[in-house]
Amino acid sequence: MLKLEKRPTPSVFWGRATPVLAVALTMVAGSLMFAALGKNPFEAIRTIFWDPLFGEFAWYLRGQLLVKAGPLILIAVGLSLGFRAGIWNIGAEGQYIMGAICGAAVGLAAYPTESRLIFPVMVLAGAFGGWVWAMIPAILKTRFNTNEILVSLMLVYVAETVLAMASTGFLRNPDGAGFPGSRNFSSYPAAANPELLAGTGLHWGGVAALGAVVAAYVLLQRHILGFQIKLAGQAPRAARFAGVSPNRLVVMCLGIAGALAGLAGMFEVTGPAGQISIDFNSNYGFTAIIVAFLGRLNPVGILFAGLLMALTYIGGEMASTNLGLPSAAIQAFQGMLLFFLLACDLLTNFRIVPARKEVR
Amino acid sequence: MTAAETGAGDLLRIEGVTKAYPGVVANSDVSFAIAQGEVHALLGENGAGKSTLVKMIYGLVKPDAGRMIWRGAPFAPSQPSAARSSGIAMVFQHFSLFEALNVAENVALGMETPPPMRELAARIRAVSEEYGLPLDPSRMVGDLSAGERQRVEIIRCLLQSPKLLIMDEPTSVLTPQEVEILFQTLRQLRSEGTSILYISHKLEEIRTLCDRATVLRRGKVVGACIPRDSTAREMAEMMVGTTLTPPERRATEKGEVALGVSDLSVASPIPFGTSLKAISFTVARGEVLGIAGVAGNGQDELLLALNGELRVAPDRVRIHGKSVGDLGPTDRRRAGLVSAPEERLGHAAAPNMTLTENALLSGAVRQGLTARGFIDWRGTEAFAEKIIESFDVRTPGTHVAARALSGGNLQKFVVGRELLQSPEVIVINQPTWGVDAAAAAAIRQAILDCAAGGAAVVVISQDLDELLEIADSFAALNEGRLTKPRPVQGLTIDEIGLMMGGAHGMEVAHHAG
Amino acid sequence: MFGGIDPALLIASLMVASVPILLAAIGELVVEKAGVLNLGVEGMMIMGAVCGFITAVVTGSPALGFLGGAAGGAGLSLLFALLTQVMQANQVASGLALTLFGLGLSSLLGQGYVGIKPPHTGVVPFGPLADIPFFGKVIFGHDPLVYLSVLAVAAVWAFLRHARGGLILRAVGESHEAAHALGYKVRRIRVLAILFGGAMAGLGGAYVSLVRVPQWTDGITAGAGWIALAIVVFASWRPWRVLLGAWLFGGITVLQLNLQAAGSGIPVEYLSMSPYLITILVLVIMSSGRGRAALNAPASLGQNFHAAR
Domain residue limits, chain C: 7-112+139-296
What's residue A130's pLDDT? 96
Tell me how close the Cα of C259 comes to any Cα of chain B, in angstroms.
44
CA distances, B316 to each of B15, B113, B367 (Å): 59, 53, 27
Segment A240-250 mean pLDDT: 93
> Is residue B431 over pLDDT 80?
yes
From chain C, which residues contact A within 8 Å (Cβ)? 39, 79, 82-83, 87-90, 92-94, 96-97, 100-105, 107-108, 111, 218, 222-223, 226, 229-230, 233, 267, 269, 272-273, 276-277, 279-280, 283-284, 287-288, 290, 294, 306, 308
Tell me how close the Cα of A238 comes to any Cα of chain B, in angstroms.
4
Q: Which amino acid does the sequence have at B192? A: E
Which chains pack against C, by 3+ Cβ pairs within 8 A? A, B
> Is residue A357 over pLDDT 50?
no
CB contact under 8 A, A360 and B374: no
Does B27 contact chain A (CB < 8 Å)? no
Does B404 contact chain A (CB < 8 Å)? yes
Please report the DSSP string for A168-183 in residue order.
IIIT--TTSTT-SS--
Q: Give the nearest partner residue to A342 out of C89, C107, C223, using CB atoms.
A: C89
> Is residue B509 over pLDDT 50?
no
What's residue C2's pLDDT? 47
Segment A147-174 mean pLDDT: 90
Q: For B399-507, where are the E strands, in sequence order?
A: 425-429, 456-460, 473-478, 481-482, 486-487
Instruction: Provide the 8-state DSSP code for A167.
Output: I
What's residue B241's pLDDT? 74
Segment A154-172 mean pLDDT: 90
What confidence tens digit (pLDDT) does each residue in B477-497 have? 988 999 999 988 888 878 888
Instruction: Provide the 8-state DSSP code for C129.
Output: G
Cβ within 8 Å of B, C 152-181: 164, 167-168, 170-171, 174-175, 177-179, 181
Give dist(CA A337, CA A294) in Å, integer: 8
Contact list in A for residue B350 (CB cut-off 8 A) is 231, 234-235, 238-239
SS3 B285: coil
CA distances, C133 to each of B236, C77, C122, C141, C147 (Å): 86, 43, 21, 11, 19
Q: What share of chain C is helix, strand, coil (3-state, %, to 5)?
A: 75, 0, 25
What's residue A5's pLDDT? 78
**Rounded mean pLDDT of chain A?**
88
Segment A305-328 mean pLDDT: 89
Tell me how close the Cα of C245 comes to any Cα of chain A, in angstroms.
16
Segment B455-467 mean pLDDT: 90
What's residue C271's pLDDT? 84
CB A354 within 8 A of CB A4: no
CB B213 within 8 A of CB B50: no
Q: Where does the pLDDT of residue B244 fall: very low under 50, low under 70, confident under 90, or very high at 90 and above?
A: low
Top pLDDT among C216 and A356 is at C216
Q: Which residues contact B191 (CB under 8 A, 6 or more apart)?
A: none
> Is residue A224 over pLDDT 70?
yes
Q: How wide is the angle at C-alpha A168 spanned by C-alphas A164 and A174, nearest 5°?
A: 145
Instruction: Provide the 8-state DSSP code for B112.
Output: S
CB contact under 8 A, B62 and A359: yes
Contact list in A for residue B351 (CB cut-off 8 A) is 234-235
The domains located in chain B, with CATH, are 3-240 (3.40.50.300), 257-508 (3.40.50.300)
Which residue, among B53, B60, B98, B352, would best test binding to C if mutated, counting the most C CBs under 10 Å from its CB? B98
> Which helix or strand (DSSP H or E) is residue B199 part of?
strand B195-200
Phi, psi of C89 (to 5 degrees): -80, 155
Contact list in A for residue B353 (CB cut-off 8 A) is 230-231, 234-235
Q: Which amino acid does the sequence have at B286? A: G
> Is residue A148 over pLDDT 50?
yes
Tell me how close the Cα of A10 comes to any Cα of chain B, in angstroms.
7
Cross-strand pairs, B474: B290, B486
Tell me how close the Cα of B417 comes to any Cα of chain C, in angstroms.
28
Tell me how close the Cα of A3 comes to any Cα of chain C, in angstroms.
10
Question: Residues, chain C, total?
Answer: 309
The segment with the largest mean pLDDT, out of A182-196, A341-355, B283-297, is B283-297
Q: Where does the pLDDT of residue B248 fall: very low under 50, low under 70, confident under 90, or very high at 90 and above?
A: low
SS3 C155: helix
- C217 phi-psi bin (left φ>0, alpha ψ -120 to 50, beta other): beta
What's residue B250's pLDDT? 58
Q: What share of chain B is helix, strand, coil (3-state, %, to 5)?
A: 35, 25, 40
What confidence tens digit (pLDDT) does each residue in A66-100 have? 899 999 999 999 999 999 999 999 999 999 999 99
Top pLDDT among B96 and A210 is at A210
HSE (CB half, 13 Å, CA atoms) of A137? 31
Tell me how close the Cα of C139 comes to any Cα of chain A, in angstroms.
32
> Which helix or strand (DSSP H or E) is residue B165 part of?
strand B164-168
The region of weakest confidence among A1-15, A121-135, B30-44, C135-149 is A1-15
> Taken in order A102, A103, A108, A113, is the CA torsion positive or negative?
positive
CB contact under 8 A, C167 and B59: no
Which of B334, B344, B343, B454 lies closest to B410 in space, CA to CA?
A: B344
Give dist(CA A268, CA A69) in Å, integer: 11
Distance of CA C49 to the CA centre of its chain: 12
CB contact under 8 A, B375 and A360: no
Contact list in A for residue C273 (CB cut-off 8 A) is 157-158, 161-162
What confidence tens digit (pLDDT) does each residue in B328-354 have? 999 999 999 999 999 998 999 999 899
CB contact under 8 A, C283 and A147: yes
List, for chain C, all residue ranges whose pLDDT scores fall below the cut of 70: 1-5, 289-295, 307-309
CB contact under 8 A, A342 and C93: yes
What's residue B23's pLDDT? 67
Rg (CA), chain A: 22
Q: Which residues contact C29 (CB under 8 A, 6 or more apart)?
A: C156, C232, C235, C237, C239, C242
Which class would CATH give C7-112+139-296?
Answer: mainly alpha
CB B420 within 8 A of CB B390: yes
CB B124 within 8 A of CB B135: yes
SS3 C141: coil
Quote the pTM value: 0.87
Which of B330, B334, B279, B289 lies closest to B309 in space, CA to CA?
A: B330
Cross-strand pairs, B489: none
Distance of CA B423 to the CA centre of its chain: 26
Q: Give the nearest partner residue to A240 out of B74, B309, B400, using CB atoms.
A: B309
Tell me how close the Cα of C144 comes to any Cα of chain A, in angstroms.
30
SS3 B39: strand
CB contact under 8 A, B96 and C174: no
CB A90 within 8 A of CB A165: no
> Is residue B421 over pLDDT 90?
yes
Give dist(CA B436, CA B48) in Å, integer: 9
What confidence tens digit (pLDDT) does each residue in B322-332 have? 999 999 999 99
Give dist(CA A38, CA A40) in Å, integer: 7
Give dist(CA C131, CA B289) in Å, integer: 81
Q: Where does the pLDDT of residue B119 fall: very low under 50, low under 70, confident under 90, or very high at 90 and above?
A: very high
Residue in chain A lying closest to B307 (CA): A241
CB contact under 8 A, B373 and A224: yes
Buried/exposed code over B386-417 (b: 16+ C-beta within 10 A; e: otherwise): bbbeebebebeebeebbbbbbbbbbbbbbbbb
> Is residue A9 over pLDDT 80?
no
Q: Give the nearest partner residue to B22 out of A5, A234, A242, using CB atoms.
A: A5
> Is residue B4 over pLDDT 50?
no
CB contact under 8 A, C181 and B79: no
CA distances, A253 to each of A75, A250, C309 (Å): 12, 5, 37
CB A235 within 8 A of CB A226: no
Which ranges of B172-276 does DSSP label H, i.e. alpha helix?
A: 176-191, 203-209, 232-240
Give dist(CA B383, CA B361) in Å, integer: 12
Q: Give the nearest partner residue to A242 out of B22, B329, B373, using CB atoms.
A: B329
Which chains pack against A, by 3+ Cβ pairs within 8 A? B, C
Q: Where does the pLDDT of residue B125 fall: very low under 50, low under 70, confident under 90, or very high at 90 and above?
A: very high
Segment A25-32 mean pLDDT: 92
Contact list in A for residue B374 (CB cut-off 8 A) is 222-224
Distance of CA B76 to the CA centre of its chain: 30
Tell me how close the Cα of C181 comes to any Cα of chain B, in angstroms.
6
Which of B18, B78, B86, B83 lies closest to B53 in space, CA to CA?
A: B18
Q: Where does the pLDDT of residue B3 fall: very low under 50, low under 70, confident under 90, or very high at 90 and above?
A: very low
Give dist(CA C298, CA C304) in Å, integer: 13
Contact list in C for residue B97 (CB cut-off 8 A) is 175, 178
Inter-residue long-range contacts of A293-298, CB under 8 Å, 24+ positions, other chains counted: A293/A83, A293/A338, A293/A341, A293/A342, A293/C93, A294/A19, A294/A22, A294/A337, A294/A338, A294/A341, A295/A19, A295/A76, A295/A80, A296/A15, A296/A18, A296/A19, A297/A80, A297/A83, A297/A84, A298/A80, A298/A220
SS3 B207: helix
